[in-house]
Amino acid sequence: MENKVVFITGSAKRLGAYTANYLHNLGYRVVLHCHNSVDQVKALSTQLNEKRIDSVKWVQGDLCDLQQLNQIAESAIASFGRIDVLINNASAFYPTPLTTFTLTDWQALIGSNAQAPLFLIQKLQKQLIQNQGVVINMVDIHAQRPLSGHTIYCMAKAALVTLTQSLAQELAPNVRVNGVAPGAILWPDTALPENEKSAILSQIPLGRLGNEKDISEAIAFLISASYITGQIVAVDGGRSIANPSVA
């Protein structure tokens, strides 16, 4: 896999950074991306390049701005001269109650979770087709079971599910397109009350929070699974099947 190049959006920290590190350890070259987290993406790039020289590069830009998105795509290709795998990981996530949401909220949530993946795939399609490539979209179990107060986010992730299934057909047989739908993997940066954490854990048959490795393993599997396309793999400890009526 040493010649394969993976481009991961939103990969300066948290799940994106872990996935970059995981795939890098498997032998992939990696193009990192950030919007505002420049210090973090520089540090991760340095760390990984110390493990294997000239194996990681990074690009910066706002995926919600289509002009910047074009530049991001071009810079990603120029980093190593090819793209084999696109992982659409970047995602805005926050509540948008019906009484208070704004057009800015719409643009940020739809832009990062649905618009950016679509246009990035369009911009990178020649590379992906040429290299028999793979797209992995980070979806969410709440695309099917909406989270109260998060209507725009859930709409965006539902659109990403449809995008995944539609482009899996349109880009076949040259490019495979799949999605990973995480359940409770990392607690949000804003602290949750213990009673809310307990309520979430009680809905998970495996009885625990997932972790970054669980997601990265699923991504690595889908990259290598040559006869799987158009699928959304839920990595949620069984939450979505055990509690079909509970968000």
- What amino acid positions are annotated as catalytic residues? 153
Q: Are 58 and 41 in contact (CB under 8 A)?
A: yes
Q: Can you spell out the DSSP letters for 90-153?
A: --------TTT--HHHHHHHHIIIIIHHHHHHHHHHHHHHHTT-EEEEE--GGGTSPPTT-HHH
Angle at 29 between CA 209 and CA 21, to 5 degrees: 25
Residue linked to tokens 């739908």:
181
- Please list the residues that pair with 87 across neighbouring strands: 8, 136
Q: Are 44 and 12 in contact (CB under 8 A)?
A: yes
d(CA 128, CA 203): 39
